[in-house]
Amino acid sequence: MLGATGYVGRELLTLLVRHPDARVVRMISSTSGASKPFPIEQVHPALRSRFTIPCLPVDLEGPGGFALLEAVGAPEADVVFLATPHETSCDVVPVLLDAGLRVIDLSGAFRLKDAAAYPRWYGFEHHASEALAEAVYGLPELNPAAVASARLLSNPGCYATSVILALSPLLRSGWVDISAGIISDSKSGASGAGRTPSGKLHFPEVNENCRAYGLFTHRHVPEMLQALDIGEKDFIFTPHLLPVTRGILSTVYVRFNARRTLGEVVALFKQIYGPSPLVRVYEGGALPEIQAVAGTQYADLGFALDEETQRLIIVSALDNLGKGAAGQAVQNMNLMFGLPQEVGLI
Ligand SMILES: NC(=O)c1ccc[n+]([C@@H]2O[C@H](COP(=O)([O-])OP(=O)(O)OC[C@H]3O[C@@H](n4cnc5c(N)ncnc54)[C@H](OP(=O)(O)O)[C@@H]3O)[C@@H](O)[C@H]2O)c1
């Protein structure tokens, strides 16, 4: 695993160490904090005495080819998780694929089909177009067969997972009046920004505060548009930073194009997510909240419908580090290796 010292890396290690069919053969960090192998509990105290292998600092901007493959533990490794910055993943993935490894990338480097979209949304030129063309956007509830056969699995973003799960059943069924506009007002805990400190994430700036950010510019917008097959003009996504460590709550607003009841809405979601062990559909107007999902691998969905005006509100909650990142990556790994998708997750 690359990116072992990050927040997502910690969650992956926590899940994989207790997974009955997985074994972590290498964990890798950058060289920014260490020059020689070190015990992972030095960075993640909760992992004390869970691993006998050390974390290896590797300058991923330096080595390609053999040195990189040696570092990731090929050929012993069957799959490599990348919990690294987008540009690092973009550099490293082609080398791993060329060596015949399967890859699960948790960055945004392989989420967008159009390489030309990367400068606008991610601020860099994408130079791995072959890998991008074969990448599978892996939302296991929606495309399990494609996930199962993927060589390069691009794990969806945390906000994007919460919004796509909320909207996909309705859009696929043609129930939404798209011309009325679709809005997602989403809130995330501060671990969503990763471990690197910044002024905006300083405790007194976040605590007892709630701030909107990334208006019209958030990186998860294009993957949501792509997965939902809707246009930019039809969708507004506004993320907010909450003073909690983990969790996402998305409140999504749509209007129907024909009369529906709350019972029909719940039945539709139950039908589509019925076989999905990690999506919980609430009935009778009950609504999910962050405390129901923080520290779990579930995505929870609840609904309120104003039958008079046919406006529906979907409330979607998940843990940004769980179903929004590491949990979903392990769920994808399970499918890629022929295991039930919930193994090691519930
Ligand atoms: N946080 C979330 O909720 C979340 C959710 C979904 C997806 N993601 C994505 O998952 C990835 C990791 O996120 P995170 O929150 O875990 O970030 P993070 O806490 O900042 O961790 C980043 C990891 O990448 C390593 N790294 C940084 N620069 C590197 C470089 N140049 N070469 C090699 N390794 C490098 C870091 O190593 P050092 O510690 O040595 O610097 C660290 O292990 C990102 O792409 C992020 O967008 C995050």
Q: Tens digit of pLDDT for each residue in 125-172?
A: 999 999 999 999 999 999 999 999 999 999 999 999 999 999 999 999
| CB of 196 sitting under 6 A from ligand 1 | yes
- Ligand 1: centre distance to CA 281 (Å): 31
Which pLDDT belongs to residue 62? Answer: 60
Q: What are phi and psi of 153, to 5 degrees?
A: -105, 120
Q: Closest ligand 1 atom to the C-alpha of 43? A: 39
Going by alpha carbons, the residue nearest to atom 14 of ligand 1 is 194
Cite the beta strand spans of the chain per DSSP E. Answer: 27-29, 55-57, 79-82, 102-105, 136-137, 152-154, 182-188, 211-212, 235-241, 248-255, 279-281, 299-306, 311-318
Give the three-state DSSP class for 93. helix
Helix, strand, or coil (residue 71): helix
Give the residue whose CA is nearest to atom 29 of ligand 1.
30
Is the preceding peptide bond at 75 cis, omega within 30 degrees of 0? yes
Task: Give the Å distances, CA to CA, from 244 to 152, 163, 193, 219, 249.
Answer: 33, 20, 12, 21, 11
| 26 Cβ below 6 A of ligand 1 | no
> Measured from the CB, is residue 247 less than 6 Å from ligand 1?
no
The tokens for 312 are 């529906």
At residue 305 the predicted structure's pLDDT band, cuts being 50, 70 and 90, is very high
Average pLDDT of the chain is 96
For residue range 277-297, list pLDDT tens digits in order: 999 999 999 999 999 999 999
**Confidence check: pLDDT of 188 > 70:** yes
Tokens 């869970």 map to which residue? 50
Q: Whose CA is nearest to atom 3 of ligand 1?
A: 192
In this predicted structure, what is the pLDDT of residue 65? 61
Please give the distance, rounded to the nearest whole angstrom, from the Cα atom of residue 83 to the centre of ligand 1: 5
Pocket mutation for ligand 1, best pick of 11, 29, 44, 218 (most atoms within 8 Å of C-beta): 29
Q: How far is the CA of 6 from the centre of ligand 1 (A)?
A: 5
pTM: 0.98
Is 345's pLDDT higher than 90? yes
Q: Which among 106, 161, 297, 332 is the best mutation to test ligand 1's pocket, defined by most ligand atoms within 8 Å of the CB?
A: 106
Which pLDDT does position 314 carry in this prediction? 99
> Would the CB of 324 count as within 6 Å of ligand 1?
yes
Q: What is the pLDDT of residue 229?
A: 98
In angstroms, the CA 266 to CA 279 distance is 13
Confidence at residue 337, expressed as pLDDT on a 0 to 100 scale:
98
Tell me what pLDDT residue 64 has. Answer: 62
pLDDT higher than threshold 70 for residue 63: no
Ligand 1 center–CA 193 separation, angstroms: 9
Active site residues: 158
Each residue's pLDDT tens digit, 311-342 = 999 999 999 999 999 999 999 999 999 999 99
* 293-329 burial code (b ≥16 CB/10 A, e <16): bbebbbbbbbbebeeeebebbbbbbbbbbbbbbbbbb
Say if residues 33 and 5 touch (Cβ distance below 8 Å).
yes
| Residue from 27, 28, 30 whose mutation best tests the ligand 1 pocket (most atoms within 8 A of CB) | 30
